[in-house]
Structure 1
Amino acid sequence: MALNFLKSLLVVVFSLFLCSISIEGKAQVEEHLVADTVHEAKEEDFNPGEVIMEHIMDNHDFHFADWNGHAIAIPLPVIVYSPQRGLSVFMSSKFEHGHAVYDGYKLEEGTIVAVNESGEPDPTVKVYDLSLTRNVVQMILGLIILVVVLIKVAKKYTREGAGKAPSGFQNALEPVITFIRDEVGKSYLGDKYEKYMPLLLTIFFFILISTLLGLIPGSANVTGNIAFTFTLGIISFVVILFSANKHYWQHIFNPPGVPFGVKLILVPVEILGIFTKPFALIVRLFANMVAGHMIITCLILMIFIFTKLSVGAGLGFAPISLGFTIFIYFIEILVAFIQAFIFTNLTAVFIGQAIEDAHGEHGHEDDAVII
């Protein structure tokens, strides 16, 4: 009984809250109807969609915030080559976030375009953008962290020996490496797992490091970039094709024990399956990373959206928005580990299918012991 009363009370309070927002919002709309066009333009400056896309898409600087009309950002080098104008190298701050033209070029919606003397885009000038964007810089940073950490741990094993108990950062990495080796490598690749462990460990830690770096405010969402996931998917695709044995190709182009009429349907499906495997890897990682960042950004923007309706509504919704943002943020840390594992795990599964022998065995020594 008390629980039902509490639910009813919450519904009434929430309804009154929404009504107050609606009344205030209506009053503000009526007030703005008599305002001049300049004032209306200023009110429409805030565009949530543009903010979300700016956070997800690549850019030529690391933008953290705006303060008193000035952007707090780290500019990156712009390297532009044009057959008509030659090579131009300068910092992205020269563009003043798309408001200025420099050396005959302008930044429009994240893309560098050549302009004429009047500042209009010049389609006759071919532009090759070789700039170090924030995605590129962050990938280089992630690669440096990956190489330094793994080489440091490997040298410690070489110096102290594998029989000695791990310590420090080595103690944190060893369970992860052992898990990938036992649960991914040995499970799907059998006695050939050692050949593919460098690839599997590199994929896992590179995705993990890149995703965790992308959770830092102002950083780039590298794993949410389709070019990044596409490249990783193509690498896995090439390894799968070059690892495939005769039995694998026979099952694709001439499935044994299948009537000829069924083969006419099955063979195209099997050929299509060769390409859908890397496509699944690419889309899964891309979609999950983009979705997580969009949810976090939308939760933060809800504060400003409510504030435009009413300052009180914005202040009242701020704790709720921040609470959910922190919760999703920690979920994203967990998702970083899960997505790195899934990409690595599926890569091992697809490679295992390609190297499987005619009897469906990989030569598992552990399976023989279990039997």
Structure 2
Amino acid sequence: MRFNRMKSLLVAAFGLIMLSLSSGVFAQENKETGKEQKKGFDANEVIFGHVKDAHEFHFLTYKGSDGEEHEAIIPLPVILYSPQKGFSVFMSSAFHHGRVADGYKLEEGKVVPTDPSAKVYDISLTRNVVQMIIALILFVWLMLAVAKKYKKGHGVASAPSGAQNAIEIVIDFITEQVAKPYLGTRYVKYMPYLLTIFFFILINTFFGMIPGSANVTGNIAFTMVLALIAFVVIMFSTNKHYWGHIINPDVPWWVKIILIPVEILGIFTKPFALMIRLFANMLAGHIIIICLISMIFIFGALNKGIGWGFAPISLAFSIFIYFIEILVAFIQAFIFTNLTAVFIGQAMEGSHDFHNEEHIDPVMV
């Protein structure tokens, strides 16, 4: 009963937000004077501006002593190719305040040519790309540092310490709880891949929790590439027993008419589920936090007293969700790795050298 009341209060709160959005929070045309009013806080722009890719790292906007708004940003290189003009390379700061740079302009986060007939291919280093490169460098440096300690004998003749200790715990967990139960005697072959996707997802998720950074794991392109890699690994792990079960299942012929298309569709739905699961969970957490912060400014646009009064509540919920996101980062990295191992194990099952004495039924979290 109390849970139902809580849901009703949440529905009422979001209803009030939608009402405030439609009651003049944004810039409107003043019918009496015919003048355009000052543009207020745009929640849609803030929310989707954070989760989408961009050509810069944007941290905050502030009003300077001159009364003008200034932005704290890190511009990124813009690399464009046009068959008509060739390559164009410049910093994204050239687009500030709606300026045109070398015949190109920025519209809703996308670079478009001022000439409508011209074609352009954007191969820029966006914040998603830059952040993935930084995460990859950190990942490689961390692993090499741990490996160097093992080469010197630390953690072999003595107990591991520092980052070595933390990494070893994770590796043991993935080995014992993910690789061995689902991959049997072949688990060693897949350990580098499983550990790479686990740590790569985890590090990118942690980077995405830094204010002003990119939400890489909440980007559908990122999760799609991981899913495609998983699909390739699964396909290369198949055997004749796997394809025999799909093409010629041991069921009556009239059931095969329905079952075979379903089994073939299942080949593609598995990586698709990996892609959507990670994308949706990572995107949802960021949107919730931004929505809670945005409520301060939405209510503040209606009345400053309401905005200041609601600020502690909004910040408290935001901090709570933020710590939940730290837990979710580990959970989603584990789930993606675990399900990938499950799908690879299903592709190998039935072969003579597949042995698994302690098989655990997969749990779809």
Per the normalisation by structure 1, the TM-score is 0.86
Task: Check whether the contact 2:75–2:92 (CA below 8 A) recurs between aligned residues.
Answer: yes
> What pairs with 1:358-369 in structure 2 (closer than 5 Å)?
362-364=354-356
- Aligned partners of 2:86 and 2:351: how far apart in 1? 58
Kindly indicate whether the alpha-carbon contact (under 8 Å) linking 2:43 and 2:294 is maintained by their aligned counterparts in 1.
yes
47, 50, 60: which one pairs with 2:55?
Answer: 60
Q: SS of 2:35's equivalent?
A: helix
Aligned to 1:179: 173
1:355 equivalenced with 2:329 (yes/no): no
1:326 aligns with 2:319: yes
1:248 aligns with 2:247: no
| Equivalence for 1:153 | 146
Q: Which residue of 1 aligns with 2:76?
A: 76
Q: 2:181, 2:358 within 8 Å by CA — same for their partners in 1? A: no
* 1:288 matches 2:287: no
Deviates more, 1:156-165 or 1:63-72: 156-165
In the TM superposition, residue 45 of structure 1 has moved relative to its aligned partner by 3.7
Q: Which amino acid aligns with 2:33?
A: D
Indicate the residue corresponding to 1:129 in structure 2: 122
Alignment partner for residue 311 of structure 1, among 295, 304, 309? 304
CA drift at 1:366: 5.2
CA contact (8 A) 1:56 1:293 kept: yes
Q: What is the CA-CA distance between 1:292 and the residue it aligns to?
A: 0.4
User: How far does the alpha carbon of each residue in 1:5-39 deviate from its partner, in whole angstroms, 9 at most, with x for none?
Assistant: xx9xxx9xxx9xxx9xx9xx9999xxx97863435
DSSP-derived class of the 1:101 partner: coil
Large movers: runs of 4+ above 2 Å: 25-28, 32-40, 161-164, 364-367
User: What TM-score comes out, normalization by structure 2 length?
Assistant: 0.87
Q: Which runs of 5+ in 1 are unaligned?
A: 1-6, 116-121
1:297 to 290, 293, 298: 290
Q: What's the counterpart of residue 89 of structure 2?
A: 89
Aligned to 1:210: 204
Point out the structure with max Rg over C-alpha.
1
Question: Structure 1 CA distance, aligned partners of 2:289 and 2:172?
Answer: 33
Contact 2:59 2:212 in 1 (8 A): yes
Give the secondary structure class of the aligned counterpart of 1:96. helix
Q: Is the 8 A contact 1:240 1:350 kept in 2?
A: yes
* 186, 196, 217: which one aligns with 1:192: 186
Post-superposition CA distance 1:162-211 (Å, at most 9, x none): 34310111011111110001000001001110000000000000000000
* Whole-angstrom distance in 2 between the partners of 1:26 and 1:259: 63
Higher helix share: 1
RMSD of aligned Cα (Å): 2.6
Q: Could you say what secondary structure the match of 1:38 adopts?
A: coil
Instruction: Quote the Cα distance in structure 2 between the aligned partners of 1:37 and 1:49.
Output: 26
* CA shift in 2, pair 1:286/1:366, >3 Å: closer
* Contact 1:146 1:209 (8 Å CA) reproduced: yes
**Are 2:269 and 1:276 aligned?**
yes
